[in-house]
Every structure is written in C-alpha cells, then in structure tokens.
Amino acid sequence: MKYLVIDAALHGTGIRDYYEGGYIDPETLSIAPDVLDRLNKWLLEYEDEHYNGFINSEVVNKLDLEGKEIAQLIKRNLKEVKMDYYSAAKLIKEPII
C-alpha cells in the first residue's frame, strides 16, 4: 500500500511518498486530468501565498480546504492508498479519510 502526502511545499510536485521520501510526478499516477489541473492550479496559488508570508489566514484556510478536497479526489482515484494532507502554512499534517 502506498502512503502519500499532499502538500504544497515550494519546488514540490504536490504529492510526496511518505515511506520512500521525495516527490512523485503526478503524471505517473492514475489521476484524472481535471484533478491534475486542479492540483497544479492549487500549487501555484499556494506558492503565491507563500511569497506573501501566509499573512492572510482566510486565504490560507481556503487553500488548505482546497488541498484536502484534492487529496480526497486523488485517494478515491487510487483506491489502495493511505493519504495525508500537510499544510505548509500551518505546519500540520492530517489524515485524509
């Protein structure tokens, strides 16, 4: 079983392998194209907020909610995977059920 973490760390792909370490190219997973597009858009928005210093908690909360939704979609696509979400702004990890 794979154990993946969705996160928006700078220079990452948005999907990290918890056991192996390092980032996974989302194109190598069986993820629907619309979910990949959503992931990439979210990464760019999170990057912008990173450079703004994460000072707007409303924006951070919105981005974290979006990231969790993306994680749930990916988990449904991949089936046999354990999934967590990591908030780069809040530095906390949560399981995706």
Reported as a single tens digit per residue, the pLDDT across 11-65 is 999 999 999 989 999 999 989 999 999 999 999 999 999 999 999 999 999 999 9
What total number of domains does the chain contain? 1
To the nearest 10 degrees (0 to 180), the angle between helices 57-78 and 33-51 is 150
Domain that holds residue 65: 2-96
pLDDT band of residue 79 (cuts 50, 70, 90) is confident
**Which long-range CB contacts under 8 A does 55-61 form with residues at least 24 apart?**
60/87, 60/89, 60/90
User: In whole angstroms, what is the distance from residue 41 CA to residue 54 CA?
Assistant: 17
